[in-house]
Structure 1
């Protein structure tokens, strides 16, 4: 399942984002040897400060098993400002309907350790379908993906071949990088889904994930009896989805404050 995290809801999913940054460090620094900055085991760059949209693949336990980052090309983006050698001196594409997809990666180790039938291939295809569907629903016409040759082969094998390439292939760390252009159409979405046997909605409701994270917090964090009773009362008396979401958000805020004052976040 795919969770979309953007500027509007990122405050709700700090733990998931943190795990995503750690996954990126393991993949792009340790495995691929790219020249990326890693601090405290997390790969975060200046483009993460520009309010991109993240599509995060989660397993049944709501653990991160894959991710990617999508950013508009009208402002700073990696192909224009980091991988400009790929462009061979040509100006970068800039359009409100052309977005850049980067930092696509899968946690192959975690998936292989699990025994729930999920495979690396299926997870990759689910994430690719998520990119195409998110783009299609957002009015994005084309997506540029900075990938290595291995990922380019995966795209082709998954019936998700790029419609074109931009610039040339350049050396990047232990591997090479190239810019693949994909047109966003219903046909592309259907091809990816058919190849992987994906059916139904692949996007998970953010409230469902937030509730699950809050429940997991209960195992390690307890409010005082008065605060716990108050939160339970607010949740149970909620009359609408928005009221329930607000009550759950209050509960999470109080738990965070309680952990901090108790020294649990030290």
Structure 2
């Protein structure tokens, strides 16, 4: 783990943002042992958490973090384009209507059923957000097990290349197409779930 103190302080006004960054630390650093920057020994924040990043955050009835995801513009710095372009057989997909999903985070402090419900509601929120905002595609990088799940959700999803080894595991790049049929496709597989959790859509800076 890398302890970092160079990142700006998290805005104290946003409890949802603080809860999300804390949950990311618990999942990606404490559980999965990813080598990521940690701020104040509490929050996982990296170089892509800039004022240009967007966040979808699902909260429970008491305001606790349940699930979240970060969206990055592919016309600027993002994980696939900057760190893993070799995962694509061709060019990295970029464009104003293409966003990258990263830090898809399900809170550890919930049982398996609640995690599954939160996962489906976050996927639903991602689809609804894309349709509302005119986003045509999402891209992302995922470990092999999670990549296999994403491919089975029922939406238009394709690998961008062969998964490759990465520090003892395999990761792959993917592209997800979003159109007016996506909701129906996810409904048929039981993934699309009307939101019962509070959704916060944020472009708030961590400054």
TM superposition score category, shorter chain reference: 0.7 to 0.9
SS at match of 1:129: helix
- Structure 1 residue aligned with 2:62: 61
Q: Radius of gyration: which is bigger? A: 1
Verify: 1:28 aligned to 2:28, yes or no: yes
Verify: 1:111 aligned to 2:106, yes or no: no
- Structure 2 residue aligned with 1:100: 100
The structure where strand makes up a greater share of residues is 2
SS at match of 1:163: strand
In structure 2, stretches of 5+ residues that fail to align are 1-9, 202-207
Verify: 1:122 aligned to 2:117, yes or no: yes
Could you tell which deviates more after superposition, 171-180 or 35-44? 171-180
What TM-score do the two structures reach when normalised by structure 2? Answer: 0.79
Contact preservation (8 Å) 1:33, 1:173: no
Say if 1:105 and 1:93 are closer, same or farther in 2 by CA, change over 3 A. same
Q: What aligned pairs does 1:197-236 form with structure 2 within 5 A after superposition?
A: 198-199=193-194, 204=199
Provide, for residues 63-120 of structure 1, a one-character-per-residue CA deviation record: whole Å limited to 9, x for no partner: 11111001111111110111223136x432221011111110101x32229xxxx621
Distance 1:197 1:145 in 2: 20
Contact preservation (8 Å) 2:53, 2:70: yes
Contact preservation (8 Å) 1:132, 1:184: yes
1:183 Cα deviation after fit: 0.5
In structure 1, stretches of 5+ residues that fail to align are 1-9, 207-266
Say if 1:13 and 1:131 are closer, same or farther in 2 by CA, change over 3 A. farther
What is the aligned residue count? 190
What TM-score do the two structures reach when normalised by structure 1? Answer: 0.63
Q: What aligned pairs does 1:254-265 form with structure 2 within 5 A after superposition?
A: none
Say if 1:175 and 1:73 are closer, same or farther in 2 by CA, change over 3 A. same
Provide, for residues 100-141 of structure 1, a one-character-per-residue CA deviation record: whole Å limited to 9, x for no partner: 11110101x32229xxxx621111011011111101110111
1:168 Cα deviation after fit: 2.9
Q: What aligned pairs does 1:1-266 form with structure 2 within 5 A after superposition?
A: 14-39=14-39, 40-87=41-88, 90-107=90-107, 109-112=108-111, 119-160=114-155, 162-194=156-188, 195-196=190-191, 198-199=193-194, 204=199
1:30 Cα deviation after fit: 2.2
Which of structures 1 and 2 has the larger relative contact order (alpha carbons within 8 angstroms, sep 6+)? 2
Could you tell which deviates more after superposition, 30-39 or 132-141? 30-39
SS at match of 1:51: coil
